[in-house]
Amino acid sequence: MGGTAILSDLHLGAYNSDDLLAYQPVLDRLRSTLNELEVERVVLIGDVFDLNLSTVEHALKRAAPFFTMLGVVLRESAADPELIYVPGNHDHHPAVRLFERYSDTCITEGDWEHDEKGPRSFRFEKPTQVTTSGGDSRYEPYASYLKKTVGPGVDISLCYPVLKIGSTHLTHGHYTDNHMDGLGEQAYTALRSYIAFEDEPSEWSVQAYEDASVPFDEFLYRLAQTKDGAANEAKIWAHIQNRLPGPNRKKRPIRDFIFDRMVLPFAIKMLKERLNIDLGAVSSSRFSPRKESEKAIQTVSRQLGLKGDHLVFGHTHRPFHAEIPTSDSPITVVNTGSWLYCPGETDPGEWVSQFRPGTVGYIPDNESPPQLIYALDGWGPDEISNAMNHKTEDTVV
């Protein structure tokens, strides 16, 4: 059995940043890395297309050369190659289609009865692996698109929200937003919970996570499909980034201190009290994204019953590899980072430690813990800027 390569957060098509795998030198570098690994399986764990910040047509056209490359690599290195797509929050719409297809099947088969919790067919209390395979365009157009761009001879499937390979669970990681202590995450979770729940869940099931996610994700998706929706979303996001704590914001020490330590925490506290939602303590200092995400993915793992196994996730765009002690044996947690270049978020002091793009998760075999490989090792902002002078040739599907 060959190894498994894992990629996330390509954000192909996004209007608000640079999707590196749309540029030929970067695509060639990834192809070289995959060839060296001789992978038999590639797993994409979300935010591959950016359907929240792009029209579907633009994102699919932008992504086609990447998928064509994957097909070539897999056919060259494996006898029975496989591609598995696990959607995230920026490409959540294909997951919504999977849930709807599953629900339609349940209804068609007669499982449409209601009980005190609502329609049975629309509830996912456990991390059920809803999947489609074969790329039948009558049922799943995204799988059909993958089949056409990847080419023949590769087994293709979409599954959601969790995939297990050997002793490793893989998921995008957007469920972690509900368990983060950062100011932005607190405000975001408070609003989503107010819309989705009459009472805050005491335990989080897949259905609860989806109830919190779907209204916002589908709204952003639908907005991005309008004539100027995606461009306007990018402007709004840039405006927010320039004013909230983070490396993009212009430095105004006194105003920043007052806003970060007093105004913003107080506003979020009032919002939580107003909405009557308990999300934990409001952090008034800049939290550690890595530590927070490491803690949050373990919380998601416990909530979904993913016990005793290694974890691979993306979502935060900050790659890391960590060994976590447990009562039994240590588990490995890997964040697969991103292939997204945001110059305002990658100043030299944070390049290596936080936002460095171009990482690949790797599982040598089903029982080995996951690893993290820096495919763009040795590349800095100058090398990436040079690479972005060479766009890939768009593939017509």
Cβ distance 171 to 163 under 8 Å? Answer: yes
| pTM score | 0.84
d(CA 230, CA 52): 7
Q: Which two tokens stand for residue 117?
A: 């919790």
Low-confidence ranges of the chain (pLDDT < 50): 114-123, 125-126, 134-138, 279, 281-287, 346-353, 395-397
Cβ distance 45 to 162 under 8 Å? Answer: no
Cα angle, residue 390 at apex, residues 69 and 226 outer, rounded to 5°: 80
CA-closest candidate to residue 171, choices 307, 12, 306: 306
Cβ distance 143 to 157 under 8 Å? Answer: yes
Cβ distance 333 to 294 under 8 Å? Answer: yes
Domain ranges of the chain: 3-178+289-387
Cα–Cα distances (Å) from 259 to 184, 256, 263, 288, 289, in that order, read 13, 5, 5, 19, 20
**Residue 27: its H or E element:** helix 24-37
Taking each helix axis as running N to C, give the angle between helix 264-275 and helix 183-196, from 0 to 180 degrees, rounded to the nearest 10: 20
Strands 310-313 and 320-324: unpaired
Q: What is the DSSP string of 155-194?
A: EEEEEES-EEETTEEE---GGGGGG--SHHHHHHHHHHHH
CA-closest candidate to residue 342, choices 293, 381, 286, 375: 381
**Residue 115: its H or E element:** strand 114-115
d(CA 328, CA 308): 8
Supply the pLDDT for residue 322. Answer: 92
Supply the pLDDT for residue 240. Answer: 63
d(CA 217, CA 252): 33
- Name the CA radius of gyration of the chain, rounded: 21
**Residue 108: its H or E element:** helix 93-108
Q: What is the pLDDT of residues 38-80, one digit of tens each?
A: 999 999 999 999 999 999 999 999 999 999 999 999 999 999 9
Cβ distance 188 to 217 under 8 Å? Answer: no
Supply the pLDDT for residue 101. Answer: 74
The CATH class, in words, for 3-178+289-387 is alpha beta
Amino acid (one-letter) located at 28: D
Taking each helix axis as running N to C, give the angle between helix 229-241 and helix 206-224, from 0 to 180 degrees, rounded to the nearest 10: 110
Q: How many other CB atoms are there within 10 angstroms of residue 211's CB atom?
A: 18
Q: What is the pLDDT of residues 239-277, one digit of tens each?
A: 666 655 555 555 556 655 555 555 656 665 665 565 555
Extract the runs of DSSP E, i.e. beta strands, from 12-68: 18-19, 39-44
Cα–Cα distances (Å) from 49 to 12, 129, 181, 196, 385, in that order, read 5, 21, 27, 26, 22
Strands 39-44 and 3-7: parallel
Taking each helix axis as running N to C, give the angle between helix 93-108 and helix 206-224, from 0 to 180 degrees, rounded to the nearest 10: 120
